[in-house]
Amino acid sequence: MRSFTIPAHYRSNLIGRLKAFRKAQDPKKKDLSPTVLDLGAVRFVFARHFGFCYGVENAIEISYQAIEENPDKRIFLLSQMIHNPEVNADLESHGLRFIQDTHGRMLMDWKELTSEDIVIVPAFGTTLETEARLKAIGIDPLKHNTTCPFVEKVWNRSAQLGSKAYTVVIHGKADHEETRATFSHTAQGAPAVIVKDMAETQELGRIILGEVPLDRFQELFGESCTPGFDPEKHLARVGVVNQTTMLATETQAIADHLKQVMLTKHGADRVKEHFADTRDTLCYATNDNQDATNELLKAEADLALVVGGYNSSNTSHLVELLEQRFPTYFINGHKELLSATEIEHFNYTAHKLLRTSAWLPPKRPVTIVLTSGASCPDTLLDKVMLKVLEFMDGVKDPTTVMNAMVG
């Protein structure tokens, strides 16, 4: 896999060395066991895979190249380039402006843009409607396009389903940039409907089986389906794709459920006519991170810290996995570690910040799982680790320990 040129301040002196050490030991990524960094009073347990992925590094490289190569031009970000506040703030510090927020709401007027301006399309991709608007202004939306190749792979899979007269069921969050983009690209060639979870999928199954009136479809999915969607006609043949950052186990369960629905309705000999057995469309990084996080669940630890943007879907799912086993705190970075007794963290289900006391156990040594989402720079984990060390006596110097560990 190619390497990318990204700013030095995103590179880590500590965590980066740990990753390189594991990669050298296990180049084929067969060993998902976590890495333990023993600093005496505290032991950090790191997932085998975490942090920046291919798509994120690609987006960062393109964005900073645009800044370097166009010092005299105005540069705009269509929306948050990735879901990490540190990265987006750094881009803004170079004079970049956002056109939309993460929900597609305008932060400026389209009329402010001219054909001489540069617009960077984020890693999540964008809708065909937005591409057309940029073209109308005279801006090529593909010139500085950072859309992740794995997102484009989902679009291609949706197009294949549409070409075979299947309706595309998208497992995703309807207000997420990526899902909005996938829905737009899918809708040009196939009917589509978005389901956010198993509960909605089960309702969709009841509609297909005729267990509830067809009117129920409009009530549940009227704002999450293509115009003119006819549930009686368009739910006869379906295939499943997903937002690339969803939980793999949930996407698989959704596909399995819909396959069983078609089996019940049409019988084993005709199920293939009505359900396209597509492979999971999660990206490799989401799969790797989730698999490595599941391996973390076997570890003995006192708590978990998960670092990332609060609007990061893939990061929230890591939190969801870890909180099954440990007290888990979702933080943006080291600034949320207010003291040895108080932490500010994000409750992703309630979408609000909380403050918790006595988050750091008094026992020594204390063992902390530390990981991050795919849009989080490793330098943020360095800062979190060093901040935790400030709260403790008798800790070993992490650089000295790292030198002894990785050479």
The residues carrying an active-site annotation are: 178
Strand order in the sheet with 167-171: 192-195, 167-171, 238-242, 275-276
Closest among 325, 327, 329 to 298, alpha carbons compared: 325
- Can you tell me whether residue 276 is helix, strand or coil? strand
Cα–Cα distance between 314 and 130 in angstroms, integer? 24
The answer to whether residues 239 and 230 touch, using CB atoms and an 8 Å cutoff, is: no
Q: Which of 80, 73, 137 is nearest to 110 (CA)?
A: 137
Residue identified by tokens 């026992």 is: 363
Distance CA 159, CA 170 (A): 13
Sequence-ordered list of residues with C-beta below 8 angstroms from that of 32, at least 6 positions apart, any chain: 48, 49, 291, 292, 295
Q: How many CA atoms lie within 13 A of 190 on its CB side?
A: 29
- Whether 318 and 406 have beta carbons less than 8 Å apart is answered as no
Q: Exposed (0-12), middle (13-18) or buried (19+): which is 3, by Cβ within 10 Å?
A: exposed
Nearest Cα to Cα of residue 289 among 84, 83, 49:
49
- Side-by-side strand order, sheet with 35-38: 35-38, 42-46, 366-372, 303-307, 328-331
The amino acid at residue 119 is: V
The token pair that represents 63 in the structure block: 């964005």
DSSP β-ladder status, 75-77 and 118-120: parallel
- Determine the Cα angle at 323 with ends 388 and 332, to 5°: 45
Give residue for tokens 């969709």: 204
Enumerate residues 6+ apart whose C-beta is below 8 A from 127.
180, 181, 183, 184, 185
| Residue 6 amino acid letter | I
| Residue 67 in tokens | 């800044």
* Cα 127 to Cα 179: distance, rounded to the nearest angstrom: 9
Helix (H, G, I), strand (E, B) or coil at 209: coil
